[in-house]
Structure 1
Amino acid sequence: MRFQLSEDQRELKKGVRRLLERRFPREALRAAVDAPGRLDRELWRALGAAGFFALTLPEAAGGVGLGRPEAVLAFEEAGRALLPGPLVATHLAAGAVAGAADGETVVAAVDGRLVEWLDAADVVVQGDATGAVPLRSVDPLTPLHRVPRPNAADLLAVDPLAALLTAAEQLGSAVRLSELAVQHARTREQFGRPIGAFQAVQHLCADLLVRAETARAAVYAAAVTGDPGDIAAARLLADEAAVRGARDCLQVHGGMGFTWEADVHLHLKRAWVRAQRKGDVTESEELLAAGLLA
């Protein structure tokens, strides 16, 4: 099985990164942090115009006509940039909800007991959000509501593509955290030397890279096979790479990593929120265990 990216896939990945660097640079990220709960509709429409939400929609239906691997590459870049908004829900709704594919309609989804970006959404799918109660989200870039009486079937159902795209976002964060840790280790000096010269810091950076690359292999493979077991394994590895990677990156940064001005804590908080979506650690482990027992 071939896992090397094709030239078109590499160009797609580069194109999404360039788009996000232009439309959602660090200044826009910090502005979004300072205005929690406000979704940038102009940015959302720009994503729609670029085909972000319609990547897997057939060309006959007005989409781009690509597959899961290409969607994973795009969502990896979104995770790397900490792009806010109900990206997965809107992507999955393209073709079923009018305006979702081109970014004119923002779609939120009931995910078990939680709904992300409920107040900003034009349409809510996959459950009833009536009476949902706002929660104080640990992530300033992801407003949350709790559904008071979720449907029992909704609690159990896991959309494999939603789990895969969440894993791709976690992978993007893990890769970015590895970059941030190495960059800081090269430039921060103590005792007249870059801290990257110290073995303990080198070990942290190496662990960050190994977890990120292991998760990348698993996520890319799951995108090719589409097997629920592969997706569950990829989700487990990506969640770990993002959460533990953020903690190790904070360790490399020392005290300044915990300050509001640094971006590391934002990746950690987003990783925590993503890890609570359906297909989380417990559900993925149960799926893998059932497959082994079978």
Structure 2
Amino acid sequence: MRFQLTDDQVALQAGVRELLARRFGGEALRAAVDAPELDRALWRELGAAGFFSLRVPEADGGVGLGLPEAVLVFEEAGRVLLPGPLVAGHLAAGVVDGAAEGEVVVTGVDPDGLVEWLDAADVVRGEAAGAVPLRSVDPLTPLHRVPGVSGGAVDPVAVLLTAAEQLGTATRVCELAVQHARTRKQFGQPIGAFQAVKHLCAQMLVRAETARAAVYAAAVTADPVDIAAARLLADEAAERGARDCLQVHGGMGFTWECEVHLHLKRAWVRGRRAGGGAESEESLAVDLLA
């Protein structure tokens, strides 16, 4: 059996990529890093495009699509490092007035007490009293932590959408590594001709495509165990892929002009959201033992 995107899904993915390229390209990304404030105009434009209301039924004013389409959209958001509490905003659509349209910015308290973009939010889902600001490694993800919060139920959809964002980063850093390997020359030839660089790029591609298969499959089954497996693979593909991309770029990968280090930092932050790491491993272990 072959599983392929439908024509409508391909069109949705292309449309979102075009929108983000126009509204949040390379120059906008660097401008956001220099002045890390949430772009309310862009947030409303995302709302108008159906980013947040994608899974809200048409009868309730939403787009009426499903989890597979949401995964495609969040993959594109991860690919360009779109900032903001995207997952929380998506989950709040149809629940919090104004969230679907992007008029209201919603963030949420992670089951482990982590809160993204707290100061920029109009609505906080969960108890954030006493939240303490943290120094975030990612300049585009301001963080707070609520003391005393540890554990709790994790929304599988939030876990999967985070995996989709990680998949976007894994895909993008693979592209960046290949582009650099083709154009950067040493000893009179592109560095991509060297076996060590070829192996790095090949490993990045394998990890990204393995994660893609898992994330897309989990979007279809919506099974919590499938989602846990997809999250583990996507976290690994994003974090290891970004590190390998830095290796291909060498010292210039750490410069402010290069976006590779931003992908690595965002991948680290996403990987600390609830549902990743040990939590997904525990879910898989319980299922295997059962």
TM over 0.5: yes
Residues 1:118 and 2:82 are matched in the alignment: no
Q: 1:236 aligns with which of 228, 232, 236?
A: 232
Q: Where does residue 61 of structure 2 map in the other structure?
A: 62
Which one-letter code corresponds to 1:39 in the other structure?
L
Task: Using the aligned pairs only, state the percent identity.
Answer: 79
Q: Where does residue 46 of structure 1 map in the other structure?
A: 45
Structure 1 unaligned blocks of 5 or more: none
Q: Where does residue 30 of structure 2 map in the other structure?
A: 30
Q: Please give the TM-score of this superposition, normalised by the length of structure 2.
A: 0.98
Distance change (3 Å), C-alpha of 1:11 and 1:180: same
Per-residue CA deviations over 1:103-138 (Å, capped at 9, x if unaligned) read 00100000122100000000000x210110111100
Q: Where does residue 89 of structure 1 map in the other structure?
A: 88
Residues 1:170 and 2:161 are matched in the alignment: no
DSSP 3-state at the match of 2:109:
strand
Q: Where does residue 284 of structure 1 map in the other structure?
A: 280
Q: Where does residue 143 of structure 1 map in the other structure?
A: 142
Q: Where does residue 222 of structure 2 map in the other structure?
A: 226
Cα deviation for residue 261 of structure 1 reads 1.6
Residues 1:160 and 2:159 are matched in the alignment: no
Q: Please say if residues 79 and 169 of structure 1, whose CA atoms lie closer than 8 Å, have aligned partners that are also in contact.
A: yes
What is the CA–CA distance in structure 1 between the aligned matches of 2:78 and 2:68, rounded to whole Å? 15
Q: Where does residue 132 of structure 1 map in the other structure?
A: 131
Cα deviation for residue 2 of structure 1 reads 4.8
What is the CA–CA distance in structure 1 between the aligned matches of 2:147 and 2:284, rounded to whole Å? 30
Q: Where does residue 18 of structure 1 map in the other structure?
A: 18
Per-residue CA deviations over 1:237-259 (Å, capped at 9, x if unaligned) read 00000000000000000110011
DSSP 3-state at the match of 2:9:
helix
Cα deviation for residue 3 of structure 1 reads 2.4
Per-residue CA deviations over 1:217-268 (Å, capped at 9, x if unaligned) read 0000000000000000000000000000000000000110011221000000
Using the TM superposition, name which of 258-267 and 45-54 deviates more: 258-267
Which one-letter code corresponds to 1:74 in the other structure?
V
Q: Please say if residues 3 and 220 of structure 1, whose CA atoms lie closer than 8 Å, have aligned partners that are also in contact.
A: no
What is the CA–CA distance in structure 1 between the aligned matches of 2:3 and 2:229, rounded to whole Å? 17
Cα deviation for residue 149 of structure 1 reads 2.5
What is the CA–CA distance in structure 1 between the aligned matches of 2:156 and 2:184, rounded to whole Å? 42
DSSP 3-state at the match of 1:173:
helix
Q: Please say if residues 173 and 267 of structure 1, whose CA atoms lie closer than 8 Å, have aligned partners that are also in contact.
A: yes
Cα deviation for residue 141 of structure 1 reads 0.3
What is the CA–CA distance in structure 2 between the aligned matches of 1:149 and 1:229, rounded to whole Å? 28
What is the CA–CA distance in structure 2 between the aligned matches of 1:256 and 1:207, rounded to whole Å? 21
Q: 1:201 aligns with which of 169, 191, 197?
A: 197
DSSP 3-state at the match of 1:268:
helix
What is the CA–CA distance in structure 2 between the aligned matches of 1:114 and 1:67, rounded to whole Å? 27
Cα deviation for residue 156 of structure 1 reads 2.3
Which one-letter code corresponds to 1:261 in the other structure?
E
What is the CA–CA distance in structure 2 between the aligned matches of 1:26 and 1:45, rounded to whole Å? 20
What is the CA–CA distance in structure 1 between the aligned matches of 2:137 and 2:253, rounded to whole Å? 17
Q: Where does residue 102 of structure 1 map in the other structure?
A: 101
Q: Where does residue 75 of structure 1 map in the other structure?
A: 74
Number of equivalences: 289
Cα deviation for residue 7 of structure 1 reads 0.3
Q: Please give the TM-score of this superposition, normalised by the length of structure 1.
A: 0.97
Q: Where does residue 241 of structure 2 map in the other structure?
A: 245
What is the CA–CA distance in structure 2 between the aligned matches of 1:119 and 1:148, rounded to whole Å? 17
What is the CA–CA distance in structure 2 between the aligned matches of 1:2 and 1:277, rounded to whole Å? 33
What is the CA–CA distance in structure 2 between the aligned matches of 1:69 and 1:146, rounded to whole Å? 31
What is the CA–CA distance in structure 1 between the aligned matches of 2:148 and 2:281, rounded to whole Å? 26
